[in-house]
Structure 1
């Protein structure tokens, strides 16, 4: 998954709250990181999206 596709999915699912969710919501699936931290730390976008989907019970 390209990073651009990841952010498009985030905006589709969370709308104007997508940036806040990405910065503030810590997920155990990402080792206690937020989306932004996980991407910064080298997690690929597909792995991060899978964690978001699992956390929010979304289909992907």
Structure 2
């Protein structure tokens, strides 16, 4: 997962509150850091995404593949 895919997944899942969520919610799975802090410290976006999903009870079927663009059709 790229950072742009992380941002898209957060927006798709949490809508307008996504920005506040990643800035304010402390994730114990990431060493008691927020998602923003974890990303700044070099934690891979996919790891941050999965920790965020676990903390906010996002169903497993919405965790994987989130944030990816649909393939271009030829």
TM tier relative to shorter chain: over 0.9
Larger Rg: 2
Gaps of 5+ in 1: none
Moved over 3 A (4+): none
**Higher strand residue share:** 2
**C-alpha root-mean-square deviation of aligned residues, in Å?**
0.7
Q: TM-score, normalised by structure 1?
A: 0.94
The structural deviation recorded for 1:53 is: 1.1
Where relative contact order (Cα < 8 A, 6+ residues apart) is larger, the structure is 2
Correspondence list, 1:1-60, <5 A: 1-58=1-58, 59=60, 60=63
Q: TM-score, normalised by structure 2?
A: 0.77
- Tell me, what secondary structure is at the counterpart of 1:10? helix
The structural deviation recorded for 1:56 is: 1.2
**Higher helix residue share:** 1
Gaps of 5+ in 2: 64-74
